Amino acid sequence: MLNFTIRRLLMAIPTLLLIGLIIFLLLELAPGDPMSQVPLTVPPEVKEKMREALGLGEPTHIRFWKWLVQFFVVEPQYLLDAIFGTEFAEGKLRVISWQTRSPVMDIVAQRIPQTLWVIGMSYVVGVLIALPIGIISAYRQYSWFDQIGTFVSMIGFSVPTFFSGVLLIVIFSVNLGWFPSIYDTTLKVTDWSSFFQQTKQMAMPVFVLALYNAAQISRFMRASMLDNLNQDYVRTARAKGMTEQVVVLVHVLRNSMIPVITVIALGVPQVFGGAIITEQVFKVNGLGQLLITAIYANDIPMVQTLTFIFAVLIVVFNLIADVLYGILDPRIRYD
Partner 1 sequence: MTDFIQTSGKARNQWWDVWDQFRTHKGAMVGAAFFVLIVLAVFIGPWIWPIDATFIDIRARNQGLSWAHPFGTDQLGRDTFARMLKGGQTSVAVGLTAMALSLVVGTGIGVLAGYFKRLDGPLMRFTDLFLALPLLPLLLVIILLFRDPLRALFGPETGIFILIVFVIGITSWMQTARIVRGDVLALKEREFVLAARSIGTPSHRMILRHILPNVMSPIMVSATLGIANAIITESALSFLGLGFPSDFPTWGRLLFDGTDYLQQYPERVLWPGMAISLTVLSVNYIGDGLRDALDPRIRGR
Applying CB under 8 A, does 208 fall inside the site for partner 1? no
Stretch that binds partner 1, among 52-60, 182-190, 255-263, 309-317 (CB under 8 A): 309-317
Among 95, 104, 237, 291, which residue interacts with partner 1 (rule: CB under 8 A)? 291
Residue 264 neighbours by CB under 8 Å, 6+ apart: 127, 217
Beta bridge partners of 103: 96
332 is a site residue for partner 1 (CB under 8 A): no
Closer to partner 1 by Cβ: residue 72 or 151: 151
Beta bridge partners of 96: 103
Query: Is 172 among the residues that bind partner 1 (CB under 8 A)?
Result: no
**Residue 320 binds to partner 1 (criterion: CB under 8 A):** no
Percentages helix, strand, coil for the chain, rounded to the nearest 5? 75, 0, 25
Q: Where are the beta strands (DSSP E) in 219-312?
A: none
Asked if 311 interacts with partner 1 (CB under 8 A), we say yes
AA letter at 308: F
Amino acid at 271: V
Is residue 103 classed as helix, strand or coil in its secondary structure?
strand
Whole-number Å distance between alpha carbons of 87 and 81: 6
Q: Does 108 bind partner 1 (CB under 8 A)?
A: no
Q: Which is nearer to partner 1, 162 or 233 (CB)?
A: 162
Tell me how far apart the alpha carbons of residues 215 and 140 are, in angstroms, rounded to a whole number.
18
1-30 positions binding partner 1, by CB under 8 A: 15, 18-19, 22-23, 26-27, 29-30
Residue type, 42: V
The residue from 314, 321, 322, 326 that contacts partner 1 (CB under 8 A) is 314
| Binds partner 1 (CB under 8 A): choice among 53, 62, 148, 170 | 170
Question: What's the rounded Cα separation, in Å, for the pair 285 and 273?
Answer: 14
Residue 41 found at the interface with partner 1 (CB under 8 A): no
Look at the chain and count its residues.
335
**260 is a contact residue toward partner 1 (CB under 8 A):** no
Contacts of residue 234, Cβ cutoff 8 Å, sequence gap at least 6 = 228, 247, 251, 252
| 163 touches partner 1 by CB under 8 A | yes
Site for partner 1 contains 292 (CB under 8 A): yes
Among 162, 178, 196, 334, binds partner 1 (CB under 8 A): 162
Q: Taking the mean position of all CA atoms in its chain, how far away is CA 64? A: 25
Residues that bind partner 1 (CB under 8 A): 15, 18-19, 22-23, 26-27, 29-31, 154-155, 157-160, 162-163, 166-167, 169-170, 174-175, 269, 273-274, 276-277, 280, 291-292, 295, 303, 306-307, 310-311, 313-315, 318
